[in-house]
Amino acid sequence: MSELKNRLKEMVEKINNSPNILNAIKEWIDGYNGKTIGFKMPVEALYITFGKGEVRLIEGEPASFDLMLLSEEKNLVDSVFKDPTRMRQYIKDGTVMIWGNLHELLKFAEIVFQSMG
């Protein structure tokens, strides 16, 4: 199992066991059925669905998404879990590409930060 998949799996478990984070997700998805954040790497694709009462990690590419992060696995692990301050530079220099709404990346980053606390 890839490092990114392991870290996302751990994060999803923590979120699903945290009523406070689940409440923050309800506020984030306000008025929508949920949010989908995808991760596309050269050899693997994963996505997370954020619902009003549950978060799930799924293998493959989503049919639709709010945000898709495209890069090598190490860059995604670094910029999402190890040093979030790198994300800005990675996006700027094209190391990480995004499809979708940058606003969703900021909200996703808040959720990741809460799950690590």
pLDDT for 82 equals 92
C-alpha span between 100 and 86 (Å, rounded): 19
CATH number (domain holding residue 14)? 3.30.1050.10
Answer whether 67's CB lies under 8 Å from 99's CB: yes
pLDDT tier at 31, thresholds 50, 70, 90: confident
- Tell me the average pLDDT of the chain: 94
* pLDDT for residue 114 is more than 80: yes
> Which one-letter DSSP state was computed for residue 30?
T
Q: Beta strands of 2-91 (E only): which ranges?
A: 35-40, 45-50, 55-59, 67-70
The mean pLDDT value for 42-69 works out to 96
Could you give the 3-state DSSP secondary structure of residue 42? coil
What is the tens place of the pLDDT at every residue in 80-93? 999 988 999 999 99
Strand order in the sheet with 35-40: 55-59, 45-50, 35-40, 67-70, 97-100
Strands 35-40 and 67-70: parallel
pLDDT for 52 equals 87
Domain hosting residue 97, numbered range: 3-116
How many domains does the chain divide into? 1
